[in-house]
A and B are shown apart, each in its own frame.
Chain A
Amino acid sequence: MMAADTPSGSTTAAGSTDRFEDVDWDDLGGLGLPLRTGLLVAVSAIYALVVTTDVFLTEGSVLSGTDWLFVLTLLVGAFFVAWPLAENRRLTAYYWRRFKKNRAAVVSAIYLLVVFTVGTVGPWLIAKPELNVIAAYQPPVFVSVDSSVPSACAGAVADGMCHGTWKYPLGTTSEGKGIAKLVVFGMRVSMQVGLITMLIVISIGTVVGTSAAYFGDLVDEVLMRYVDIQQTFPTFFLFLIVTYLFKPSLFLLITIFGFLGWGGIARLVRSEALQRREEEYIRAAENAGASDGWIIRKHLMPNVSNTVITAATLLIPSFILFEATFAFLGLTDPATPSWGQVIASGRGDLDSAWWIATIPGVFLFCTVLAFNFVGDALRDALDPRSEGDA
């Protein structure tokens, strides 16, 4: 079909500028994918290939299931958070100006960045802490305890007091494991649990919520009634049963809480998307001939992203706390060094070796608090209702 009524004479061969009336729509074919989409497709393909090889073809896999999920999370973060932020510098700068008004949040963000980096990279650089009975109960550096507490004081002993050494900067546990190392390994566990679970929850929640709101009627009814059922499901007991039946692992924890915990987000997203759906720009896109998928991806999802991002940052600490609780109760894999586990192992020695339970506890506390601060600040920065005062 040819566009009729192309004006003759009105265009005076305007050099190299493209004009809309000169577009020959019959000529337009696929000119290849845009860079980002192309790269995304390529990376997804490579990822799928590598994971398949690692899981099914290699003996004794290179990375654990959890680690592969973590890699996926990082890739998603790079493509859907970092890339758009780098592409829209002006918008990024605008959000940053609003975000940095909240000092506590900036400090929290820096802290989280450090925890994230150390937790991601650290476990590759340092050896896993080993059982070493001789080095048990060493106090942290700058701290001294009665020399009867450690079995053999690694540092200087003066006046019957054992002083901490730089060999064990944060002291050691009853098994002689360095707490500093345990904290670093615990950072990875916390970040993995928090970020991967969050990714699963918001991916499913956003897709379900926006689809329910956009399509309405039967789709809405089926999806949201399923959410109702899922929300009544006791995830905690399922986790107990599964860990009883199988070997407890971080992977199980993440998948169970990820795949059963998205109901709240789906509801939140749906109610937000219902409002957005009535906006005229959705109509305008329909009128331009956009498909349902296009409208959901390009208009509905970006416009509910404020809600999603804020909810996500507030979800992460709850998952971290869940993991810590289960580890404390001894419901997780004992080989996974988690903060909760270390806290549990130190709870009997609180009067003599207080640092064992306290130090990981402080890290847990700070991490949860930091996520909450960042979440609050993000909500303020992204909320369009407070627009204009920046």
Chain B
Amino acid sequence: MSADPLLSVRNLKKHYPITKGILKKEVGRVKAVDGISFDVAPGETLGLVGESGCGKSTAATSLLRLEEPTDGQILFDGDDIVEHGDADLKAFRRRAQMMFQDPSSSFDPRMSVGESVAEPLAIHGMRDRARRRRIVEDLLERVGLSAAAYDRYPHEFSGGQKQRIALARALVLNPDLVVADEPVSALDVSIQAEIISLMRDLQTEFGLSIVFISHDLGVVREVCDRVAVMYLGEIVEVADTETLFSDPKHPYTKALLSSIPTPDPSRRNEGVELSGDVPSPSNPPSGCRFHTRCPAVIQPEAFDLEQAEWRHVLDLRLRVERGVDASDIREFLVAEGEAPTPEEVPDAAVARELRREFDVPQTLSDPNAETVLSDAISALVEGEHDEARRTLNDSFSSVCERDHPELESTSAGTSAACLRVDTERRIDPPPTS
């Protein structure tokens, strides 16, 4: 990273209040972006990746102040744009542009595309219509269209052409920074390649900094110098693209990388599959936000289980915390033909079914853990729900639920937010290698 970043985001937060009733009482908050920090150097492309709903797009709109950030600093060329008044903000807008995901809705159907591209010029005070036209016609040719496209309307273009025009619109003010929100996700693969190479050419020509938001790791690897991985509104890992792809440190990054399809049949089925659902950003998990799905979640010192086994036990525990009704399992077993009525289903069968449901082995490899688990399950089967929960919580709680990891530098010289990186303890070898 060079000494003077063009853009420097510090602890950026964007929360959406959930309100209720006529008085709009705040009953909760959707923490779409919850304290992210990163730098973008001049001429650099930073990728922002993550699953749908992890806050990538909100991060983009907040860092351009298209939505007011809830908290944090956005330093652009050393000035905090969060503090900017209207005039300064307008000056900033000229230097930072955005490209949108959906090429069909990002152009006003009532304006010719030339007018749309020229609009920023007019907004920033270029009143000479003929000059605007000359500039835009020249620019349209440079993004691979004809000057005659100026007078045509958006519906007359294909998605790829529209994205070229969108690129022209993003460039027309000669900005220093372009935030591209999934610029190629809506396009065919062959068109994606064209747009990407066009973006790269223009970037080298004009020394642009780009924040490239995508869920497509293949594209990110192609385009970006550095990559920041987001999960549930937080950045979990930042690394050079090469390092990230060859030596990911965060378990979430590993899982994302293993989701890229490989053409090599001998390397299939090695992927890390994430269990569970993406938690809601209105009520994010405590500690490390990834602990509910993390395949490498840390075990308590007392046990020595297989990592996968431990994961399944934890899944079971988290499910019990939300409430498991043994009578439902009995009903299910009756439907399966195990017994004629729910009352007659043997307790052992219920316990077996419960373990099977969560892929927990019938006997755990660690005898201490097995004792605790079977106690808890028998309590659950007898309907002692609270006791089962207490037993499980007492023994099977992970440090990952309690401590929130901060971004720390790793052995590879990158940053990751994982307690395993913090302490470098008990790291399982990455399953993909």
Which A residues form the contact surface with B (CB < 8 A)? 1, 3-7, 10, 14, 17-21, 23, 25, 28-34, 90-91, 279-281, 283-290, 294, 298-299, 302-303, 305, 384, 387-388
Contact = CB atoms under 8 A, between A and B. Distances in A.
A290 B123 contact: yes
Contact of A284 (B98, B139, B171): B98
A29 B100 CA distance: 30
Interface in B95-149: 95, 97-98, 100-102, 105-111, 116, 119-121, 123-129, 131, 134-135, 138-139
Given A5-B42, A19-B138, A29 B174 contact: no
Interface of B: 42-43, 61, 64, 66, 89-91, 93-95, 97-98, 100-102, 105-111, 116, 119-121, 123-129, 131, 134-135, 138-139, 151, 153, 155, 169, 171-176, 205-208
Contact of A288 (B93, B131, B207): B93
B134 A18 contact: yes
Contacts of A18: 131, 134-135, 138
Contact of A31 (B43, B91, B127, B155): B127
Given A5-B206, A90-B151, A287-B66, A23 B93 contact: no
B252 to A, nearest CB: 29
B119 A285 contact: yes
Contacts of B91: 1
Task: Report, nearest first, the 4 A-B pairs whose CB atoms are least far apart.
Answer: A289-B93, A288-B120, A5-B207, A280-B106
Nearest to A287: B98
A288 B173 contact: yes
B110 A303 contact: yes
B74 to A, nearest CB: 15
Contact of B126 (A3, A17, A28, A302): A28
Nearest to B168: A20
B433 to A, nearest CB: 40
B123 A289 contact: yes
Contact of B176 (A4, A19, A279, A290): A4
Given A30-B127, A303-B108, 19 more contacts: A1-B95, A3-B95, A5-B43, A5-B207, A17-B138, A20-B139, A23-B121, A25-B94, A32-B127, A34-B127, A279-B105, A283-B98, A283-B100, A284-B169, A287-B66, A289-B89, A298-B111, A305-B110, A388-B155
A281 B107 CA distance: 5
Contacts of A294: 123
B110 to A, nearest CB: 4
A21 to B, nearest CB: 5
Given A18-B138, A281-B106, A288 B119 contact: yes
Contacts of B169: 284, 288
Contact of B205 (A10, A23, A33): A10
A1 B89 CA distance: 12
B125 A28 contact: yes
A238 to B, nearest CB: 32
Given A31-B128, A281-B105, A289-B93, A21 B174 contact: yes
Nearest to A294: B123
A14 B172 CA distance: 17
A34 B129 CA distance: 8
A20 B128 contact: no
Nearest to A9: B205
18 contacts: A5-B176, A7-B206, A10-B205, A19-B139, A20-B121, A25-B125, A28-B125, A29-B125, A90-B151, A280-B106, A284-B98, A284-B100, A288-B119, A288-B124, A289-B89, A289-B94, A289-B120, A302-B108
